[in-house]
Amino acid sequence: MPDKDFAALLVLLRAGLWEREPDRWEGFPLSAGAWERVYTLSRRQTVAGIVFRGLQFLPDELLPPSALLMRWVVTADRIEERNRLMNRVLGNLYTLYVSRELNPILQKGQGVAQFYASPLLRESGDIDFYFTNPVSFRLARLCMQARGIEVEEMPDRSLSYVWQGVEVEHHTRLFDLHNPFLRTKAARLEERWGYCSRQLSADVPVDITVPAPFLNLLLLNLHILKHALGWGIGLRQLCDMACACHCLHGEMDAREMEAACRSLGLTRWAPLLHAFLVEHLGLDPGCLPYPAQAPSAEPLLDIVRRGGNFGLFLEGRSGAGRSWLQRKWQTSRSFLRNVRFARTYAPREAFWLFTDLLRNNLRATKTDN
Protein backbone atom coordinates (compact mmCIF):
# COMPACT_ATOMS: atom_id res chain seq x y z
CA MET A 1 0.00 0.00 0.00
CA PRO A 2 1.17 3.60 -0.56
CA ASP A 3 2.51 5.49 2.44
CA LYS A 4 0.20 8.09 3.96
CA ASP A 5 1.58 11.06 2.02
CA PHE A 6 1.46 9.27 -1.31
CA ALA A 7 -2.03 7.97 -0.51
CA ALA A 8 -3.20 11.53 0.17
CA LEU A 9 -1.61 12.65 -3.10
CA LEU A 10 -3.54 9.98 -5.01
CA VAL A 11 -6.83 10.95 -3.33
CA LEU A 12 -6.39 14.58 -4.40
CA LEU A 13 -5.16 13.57 -7.84
CA ARG A 14 -8.27 11.47 -8.49
CA ALA A 15 -10.45 14.35 -7.32
CA GLY A 16 -8.69 16.71 -9.74
CA LEU A 17 -8.65 14.28 -12.67
CA TRP A 18 -12.37 13.55 -12.56
CA GLU A 19 -13.43 16.84 -10.91
CA ARG A 20 -15.40 15.31 -8.08
CA GLU A 21 -15.26 15.07 -4.30
CA PRO A 22 -12.51 12.87 -2.86
CA ASP A 23 -13.44 9.19 -2.76
CA ARG A 24 -11.91 8.61 0.68
CA TRP A 25 -11.14 10.69 3.73
CA GLU A 26 -8.73 8.49 5.67
CA GLY A 27 -5.69 10.48 6.75
CA PHE A 28 -7.42 13.86 6.53
CA PRO A 29 -6.97 16.46 7.91
CA LEU A 30 -3.28 16.58 7.07
CA SER A 31 -0.68 18.25 9.26
CA ALA A 32 1.25 21.23 7.92
CA GLY A 33 4.28 18.99 7.43
CA ALA A 34 2.24 16.39 5.56
CA TRP A 35 0.83 19.08 3.27
CA GLU A 36 4.38 20.22 2.43
CA ARG A 37 5.33 16.66 1.56
CA VAL A 38 2.23 16.18 -0.60
CA TYR A 39 3.00 19.42 -2.44
CA THR A 40 6.60 18.28 -3.04
CA LEU A 41 5.38 14.90 -4.30
CA SER A 42 2.96 16.60 -6.69
CA ARG A 43 5.83 18.67 -8.12
CA ARG A 44 8.10 15.64 -8.47
CA GLN A 45 5.37 13.68 -10.21
CA THR A 46 4.51 16.75 -12.39
CA VAL A 47 0.85 16.67 -11.37
CA ALA A 48 0.80 19.80 -9.18
CA GLY A 49 -1.81 21.48 -11.40
CA ILE A 50 -4.23 18.55 -11.36
CA VAL A 51 -3.79 18.07 -7.60
CA PHE A 52 -4.45 21.79 -7.15
CA ARG A 53 -7.74 21.25 -8.99
CA GLY A 54 -8.48 18.47 -6.51
CA LEU A 55 -7.98 20.87 -3.60
CA GLN A 56 -10.98 22.82 -4.82
CA PHE A 57 -13.22 19.89 -3.86
CA LEU A 58 -12.08 19.89 -0.22
CA PRO A 59 -14.12 21.60 2.51
CA ASP A 60 -12.46 24.72 3.89
CA GLU A 61 -11.42 23.06 7.13
CA LEU A 62 -9.34 20.46 5.24
CA LEU A 63 -7.42 22.85 2.98
CA PRO A 64 -3.64 23.28 3.37
CA PRO A 65 -2.20 26.22 5.34
CA SER A 66 -2.76 29.55 3.60
CA ALA A 67 0.93 30.17 2.86
CA LEU A 68 1.27 26.81 1.07
CA LEU A 69 -2.07 27.32 -0.67
CA MET A 70 -0.81 30.61 -2.12
CA ARG A 71 2.35 28.89 -3.39
CA TRP A 72 0.15 26.25 -5.00
CA VAL A 73 -1.96 28.97 -6.66
CA VAL A 74 1.21 30.53 -8.11
CA THR A 75 2.39 27.11 -9.33
CA ALA A 76 -0.97 26.43 -11.01
CA ASP A 77 -0.94 29.86 -12.66
CA ARG A 78 2.53 29.19 -14.07
CA ILE A 79 1.41 25.82 -15.41
CA GLU A 80 -1.53 27.46 -17.18
CA GLU A 81 0.68 30.18 -18.66
CA ARG A 82 3.20 27.61 -19.84
CA ASN A 83 0.42 25.66 -21.55
CA ARG A 84 -0.86 28.75 -23.31
CA LEU A 85 2.68 29.40 -24.57
CA MET A 86 3.01 25.75 -25.67
CA ASN A 87 -0.28 25.95 -27.55
CA ARG A 88 0.71 29.15 -29.37
CA VAL A 89 4.12 27.76 -30.31
CA LEU A 90 2.57 24.47 -31.41
CA GLY A 91 0.12 26.26 -33.69
CA ASN A 92 2.84 28.47 -35.20
CA LEU A 93 5.33 25.67 -35.77
CA TYR A 94 2.77 23.21 -37.11
CA THR A 95 1.47 25.85 -39.54
CA LEU A 96 5.04 26.50 -40.72
CA TYR A 97 5.65 22.82 -41.44
CA VAL A 98 2.30 22.29 -43.14
CA SER A 99 2.93 25.31 -45.38
CA ARG A 100 5.98 23.42 -46.62
CA GLU A 101 3.98 20.19 -47.01
CA LEU A 102 6.00 18.41 -44.33
CA ASN A 103 2.83 17.41 -42.41
CA PRO A 104 4.07 16.17 -39.02
CA ILE A 105 2.03 14.08 -36.59
CA LEU A 106 1.78 15.41 -33.02
CA GLN A 107 2.65 12.80 -30.40
CA LYS A 108 1.52 12.87 -26.76
CA GLY A 109 1.89 16.22 -24.99
CA GLN A 110 -0.57 18.91 -26.02
CA GLY A 111 -2.41 16.34 -28.11
CA VAL A 112 -3.21 14.40 -24.92
CA ALA A 113 -4.06 17.46 -22.82
CA GLN A 114 -7.36 17.72 -24.72
CA PHE A 115 -8.55 14.61 -22.88
CA TYR A 116 -8.31 16.29 -19.46
CA ALA A 117 -11.25 17.98 -17.77
CA SER A 118 -8.89 20.95 -17.12
CA PRO A 119 -6.33 20.80 -19.97
CA LEU A 120 -4.41 23.90 -18.94
CA LEU A 121 -3.57 22.33 -15.56
CA ARG A 122 -1.74 19.38 -17.12
CA GLU A 123 1.98 20.10 -16.84
CA SER A 124 3.51 20.27 -20.28
CA GLY A 125 6.92 18.99 -21.33
CA ASP A 126 8.04 19.37 -24.92
CA ILE A 127 6.48 19.15 -28.38
CA ASP A 128 7.02 15.82 -30.13
CA PHE A 129 6.53 15.56 -33.88
CA TYR A 130 6.61 12.32 -35.84
CA PHE A 131 7.46 12.50 -39.53
CA THR A 132 6.15 9.60 -41.59
CA ASN A 133 8.93 9.65 -44.19
CA PRO A 134 12.68 10.41 -44.12
CA VAL A 135 12.44 13.19 -46.70
CA SER A 136 10.07 15.27 -44.54
CA PHE A 137 12.22 14.53 -41.49
CA ARG A 138 15.33 15.84 -43.26
CA LEU A 139 13.58 18.89 -44.72
CA ALA A 140 12.17 19.85 -41.32
CA ARG A 141 15.69 19.87 -39.94
CA LEU A 142 16.90 22.06 -42.80
CA CYS A 143 13.93 24.36 -42.24
CA MET A 144 15.06 25.02 -38.67
CA GLN A 145 18.74 25.34 -39.51
CA ALA A 146 17.92 27.88 -42.22
CA ARG A 147 16.42 30.02 -39.44
CA GLY A 148 19.58 29.83 -37.36
CA ILE A 149 18.19 27.25 -34.94
CA GLU A 150 20.75 24.84 -33.48
CA VAL A 151 19.44 21.30 -34.02
CA GLU A 152 20.95 18.51 -31.93
CA GLU A 153 20.91 14.92 -33.13
CA MET A 154 20.28 12.50 -30.26
CA PRO A 155 21.89 9.03 -30.00
CA ASP A 156 18.64 7.42 -31.23
CA ARG A 157 18.73 9.69 -34.33
CA SER A 158 15.83 11.86 -33.12
CA LEU A 159 16.32 15.65 -33.28
CA SER A 160 16.01 18.24 -30.54
CA TYR A 161 15.94 22.05 -30.63
CA VAL A 162 14.34 25.04 -28.95
CA TRP A 163 11.75 27.07 -30.86
CA GLN A 164 10.34 30.26 -29.32
CA GLY A 165 11.30 29.10 -25.84
CA VAL A 166 9.86 25.57 -26.16
CA GLU A 167 11.82 22.35 -26.56
CA VAL A 168 10.82 20.40 -29.68
CA GLU A 169 11.75 16.88 -30.73
CA HIS A 170 11.43 15.17 -34.12
CA HIS A 171 11.05 11.40 -34.43
CA THR A 172 11.08 8.88 -37.25
CA ARG A 173 8.97 6.29 -35.42
CA LEU A 174 5.46 6.60 -34.03
CA PHE A 175 5.86 3.97 -31.32
CA ASP A 176 8.45 3.52 -28.58
CA LEU A 177 8.96 -0.07 -29.70
CA HIS A 178 12.49 -1.46 -29.69
CA ASN A 179 11.95 -5.11 -30.63
CA PRO A 180 12.84 -5.10 -34.36
CA PHE A 181 10.78 -8.22 -34.99
CA LEU A 182 7.60 -6.37 -33.99
CA ARG A 183 8.07 -3.20 -36.01
CA THR A 184 6.46 -4.68 -39.11
CA LYS A 185 3.37 -5.50 -37.06
CA ALA A 186 3.37 -2.00 -35.61
CA ALA A 187 3.66 -0.53 -39.13
CA ARG A 188 0.63 -2.54 -40.22
CA LEU A 189 -1.38 -1.18 -37.29
CA GLU A 190 -0.27 2.35 -38.16
CA GLU A 191 -1.26 1.86 -41.79
CA ARG A 192 -4.64 0.43 -40.85
CA TRP A 193 -5.72 3.02 -38.27
CA GLY A 194 -3.91 6.13 -39.49
CA TYR A 195 -4.39 9.66 -38.17
CA CYS A 196 -7.05 12.28 -37.67
CA SER A 197 -7.14 16.08 -37.43
CA ARG A 198 -8.48 17.92 -34.40
CA GLN A 199 -8.55 21.46 -33.07
CA LEU A 200 -6.92 20.94 -29.70
CA SER A 201 -7.95 24.18 -27.99
CA ALA A 202 -8.95 27.78 -28.58
CA ASP A 203 -5.25 28.68 -28.24
CA VAL A 204 -4.44 26.48 -31.27
CA PRO A 205 -6.61 27.92 -34.08
CA VAL A 206 -5.61 25.23 -36.61
CA ASP A 207 -6.47 21.56 -36.89
CA ILE A 208 -3.52 19.42 -35.77
CA THR A 209 -2.92 15.91 -37.06
CA VAL A 210 -2.71 13.35 -34.26
CA PRO A 211 -2.75 9.53 -34.16
CA ALA A 212 -6.18 7.95 -34.48
CA PRO A 213 -7.71 6.90 -31.12
CA PHE A 214 -6.60 3.27 -31.49
CA LEU A 215 -3.00 4.28 -32.21
CA ASN A 216 -3.04 6.98 -29.54
CA LEU A 217 -3.78 4.47 -26.79
CA LEU A 218 -1.11 2.08 -28.07
CA LEU A 219 1.37 4.96 -28.27
CA LEU A 220 0.71 5.99 -24.66
CA ASN A 221 0.85 2.39 -23.48
CA LEU A 222 4.25 1.74 -25.09
CA HIS A 223 5.63 5.10 -23.95
CA ILE A 224 4.83 4.27 -20.32
CA LEU A 225 6.34 0.80 -20.69
CA LYS A 226 9.56 2.19 -22.15
CA HIS A 227 10.13 4.44 -19.15
CA ALA A 228 8.96 1.87 -16.60
CA LEU A 229 11.65 -0.48 -17.92
CA GLY A 230 14.31 2.21 -17.68
CA TRP A 231 14.70 5.10 -15.23
CA GLY A 232 11.06 5.02 -14.22
CA ILE A 233 7.70 6.61 -14.93
CA GLY A 234 5.67 9.25 -13.13
CA LEU A 235 2.02 9.89 -12.45
CA ARG A 236 1.60 12.45 -15.23
CA GLN A 237 2.07 9.90 -18.01
CA LEU A 238 -0.30 7.49 -16.28
CA CYS A 239 -2.85 10.29 -15.93
CA ASP A 240 -2.49 10.88 -19.68
CA MET A 241 -3.38 7.24 -20.27
CA ALA A 242 -6.33 7.35 -17.86
CA CYS A 243 -7.83 10.46 -19.43
CA ALA A 244 -7.29 9.13 -22.95
CA CYS A 245 -9.01 5.86 -22.02
CA HIS A 246 -11.91 7.80 -20.51
CA CYS A 247 -12.41 9.89 -23.65
CA LEU A 248 -11.65 7.32 -26.34
CA HIS A 249 -13.03 4.04 -25.01
CA GLY A 250 -16.13 4.20 -27.22
CA GLU A 251 -14.11 4.73 -30.42
CA MET A 252 -12.55 1.27 -30.79
CA ASP A 253 -13.28 -2.42 -30.50
CA ALA A 254 -11.91 -3.98 -27.31
CA ARG A 255 -11.24 -7.31 -29.02
CA GLU A 256 -9.13 -5.62 -31.68
CA MET A 257 -7.16 -3.75 -29.03
CA GLU A 258 -6.53 -6.95 -27.11
CA ALA A 259 -5.36 -8.64 -30.32
CA ALA A 260 -3.02 -5.72 -31.07
CA CYS A 261 -1.53 -5.87 -27.56
CA ARG A 262 -1.06 -9.60 -27.95
CA SER A 263 0.72 -9.16 -31.29
CA LEU A 264 3.07 -6.57 -29.75
CA GLY A 265 3.96 -8.70 -26.73
CA LEU A 266 1.98 -6.69 -24.18
CA THR A 267 -0.22 -9.45 -22.74
CA ARG A 268 1.48 -9.34 -19.33
CA TRP A 269 2.16 -5.62 -19.22
CA ALA A 270 -1.23 -4.24 -20.30
CA PRO A 271 -3.24 -5.87 -17.44
CA LEU A 272 -0.78 -4.39 -14.92
CA LEU A 273 -1.17 -0.95 -16.48
CA HIS A 274 -4.96 -1.35 -16.48
CA ALA A 275 -4.92 -2.31 -12.80
CA PHE A 276 -2.98 0.85 -11.93
CA LEU A 277 -5.38 3.06 -13.86
CA VAL A 278 -8.37 1.60 -12.02
CA GLU A 279 -6.94 1.09 -8.52
CA HIS A 280 -4.92 4.27 -8.12
CA LEU A 281 -6.27 6.78 -10.66
CA GLY A 282 -9.95 5.91 -10.38
CA LEU A 283 -10.62 5.07 -14.03
CA ASP A 284 -13.95 3.35 -14.58
CA PRO A 285 -13.12 -0.28 -15.54
CA GLY A 286 -15.60 0.05 -18.39
CA CYS A 287 -13.26 2.60 -20.00
CA LEU A 288 -10.27 0.25 -20.20
CA PRO A 289 -9.03 -0.53 -23.73
CA TYR A 290 -10.05 -4.12 -23.06
CA PRO A 291 -11.20 -5.87 -19.86
CA ALA A 292 -8.03 -7.35 -18.40
CA GLN A 293 -6.57 -6.39 -15.01
CA ALA A 294 -3.73 -7.81 -12.97
CA PRO A 295 -4.63 -8.82 -9.39
CA SER A 296 -2.51 -5.95 -8.06
CA ALA A 297 -0.83 -2.83 -9.46
CA GLU A 298 1.84 -2.89 -6.74
CA PRO A 299 4.85 -3.60 -9.04
CA LEU A 300 4.10 -0.51 -11.12
CA LEU A 301 3.20 1.58 -8.09
CA ASP A 302 6.63 0.81 -6.63
CA ILE A 303 8.36 2.18 -9.75
CA VAL A 304 6.18 5.31 -9.77
CA ARG A 305 6.87 6.06 -6.12
CA ARG A 306 10.63 5.49 -6.43
CA GLY A 307 11.47 7.79 -9.27
CA GLY A 308 8.88 10.47 -9.96
CA ASN A 309 8.54 11.93 -13.43
CA PHE A 310 10.77 9.82 -15.78
CA GLY A 311 12.78 8.74 -12.74
CA LEU A 312 14.22 12.24 -12.33
CA PHE A 313 14.43 11.87 -8.54
CA LEU A 314 16.18 8.52 -8.43
CA GLU A 315 19.64 8.63 -6.90
CA GLY A 316 22.14 9.17 -9.67
CA ARG A 317 19.59 10.38 -12.22
CA SER A 318 21.13 13.81 -12.55
CA GLY A 319 24.13 13.90 -14.84
CA ALA A 320 25.50 17.08 -13.30
CA GLY A 321 29.18 16.76 -12.42
CA ARG A 322 29.43 13.20 -13.71
CA SER A 323 31.61 11.83 -16.47
CA TRP A 324 30.14 10.16 -19.54
CA LEU A 325 31.13 6.75 -18.14
CA GLN A 326 29.49 7.49 -14.77
CA ARG A 327 26.25 8.61 -16.44
CA LYS A 328 26.08 5.48 -18.58
CA TRP A 329 26.82 3.30 -15.57
CA GLN A 330 23.92 4.89 -13.71
CA THR A 331 21.65 4.30 -16.70
CA SER A 332 22.68 0.65 -16.80
CA ARG A 333 22.02 0.36 -13.07
CA SER A 334 18.49 1.65 -13.58
CA PHE A 335 17.80 -1.21 -15.99
CA LEU A 336 19.34 -3.72 -13.62
CA ARG A 337 17.21 -2.35 -10.76
CA ASN A 338 14.09 -3.18 -12.77
CA VAL A 339 15.31 -6.49 -14.18
CA ARG A 340 12.76 -8.57 -12.27
CA PHE A 341 9.97 -6.26 -13.39
CA ALA A 342 11.18 -6.43 -16.99
CA ARG A 343 11.55 -10.21 -16.94
CA THR A 344 8.00 -10.57 -15.65
CA TYR A 345 6.10 -8.07 -17.79
CA ALA A 346 8.03 -7.41 -21.02
CA PRO A 347 11.20 -9.53 -21.26
CA ARG A 348 11.74 -9.28 -25.02
CA GLU A 349 11.07 -5.56 -25.25
CA ALA A 350 13.38 -4.96 -22.27
CA PHE A 351 16.16 -6.92 -23.99
CA TRP A 352 15.92 -4.89 -27.18
CA LEU A 353 15.53 -1.61 -25.29
CA PHE A 354 18.76 -2.30 -23.41
CA THR A 355 20.45 -3.38 -26.66
CA ASP A 356 19.43 -0.12 -28.33
CA LEU A 357 20.69 1.82 -25.33
CA LEU A 358 24.12 0.22 -25.62
CA ARG A 359 24.20 0.72 -29.39
CA ASN A 360 23.23 4.39 -29.09
CA ASN A 361 25.80 4.99 -26.36
CA LEU A 362 28.54 3.46 -28.51
CA ARG A 363 27.45 5.64 -31.43
CA ALA A 364 27.55 8.72 -29.19
CA THR A 365 31.04 7.77 -27.98
CA LYS A 366 32.35 7.54 -31.53
CA THR A 367 30.76 10.89 -32.40
CA ASP A 368 32.34 12.58 -29.35
CA ASN A 369 35.74 11.18 -30.27
Query: pLDDT digit string (tens) for 26-72?
Result: 899 999 999 999 999 999 999 999 999 999 999 999 999 999 999 99
* Average of per-residue pLDDT across 243-270: 96
Q: Between 85 and 340, where is the model more confident?
A: 85
User: Sign of dihedral through CA atoms 35, 41, 46, 50?
Assistant: negative
* Average of per-residue pLDDT across 90-107: 96
pLDDT interval class at 327 (50, 70, 90)? low
Residue 113 near residue 119, CB atoms below 8 Å: yes
Q: Between 306 and 194, where is the model more confident?
A: 194
pLDDT above 80: residue 236? yes
* Average of per-residue pLDDT across 130-159: 95
Q: Write down the CATH number for the domain with range 85-211.
A: 3.30.460
Query: pLDDT digit string (tens) for 277-309?
Result: 999 999 999 999 999 999 999 999 999 998 765
pLDDT above 60: residue 368? no
pLDDT interval class at 1 (50, 70, 90)? very low
pLDDT above 90: residue 329? no
Closest Cα partner for 106 from 229, 7, 200?
200
pLDDT above 90: residue 165? yes
- The pTM of the full predicted model, rounded to 2 decimals, is 0.91
pLDDT interval class at 201 (50, 70, 90)? confident
State how far the Cα of 213 lies from the Cα of 195, in Å rounded to an integer.
Answer: 8
Backbone angles phi, psi at 161, to 5 degrees: -160, 170
Task: List the domain boundaries for the chain.
Answer: 1-64, 85-211, 213-369
Cα–Cα distances in angstroms (integers) from residue 139 to residues 74, 157, 170, 195, 331, in the given order: 40, 15, 11, 21, 33
Residue 123 near residue 44, CB atoms below 8 Å: no
Residue 308 near residue 44, CB atoms below 8 Å: yes
Average pLDDT over the chain, rounded to an integer:
90
User: CB-side exposure of 196: number of CA atoms within 13 Å?
Assistant: 12
pLDDT interval class at 139 (50, 70, 90)? very high
Q: What are the contacts of 319-327 at 24+ separation with CB within 8 A?
A: 324/365, 324/368
| 21-25, 74-78, 312-316: the lowest-pLDDT one | 312-316
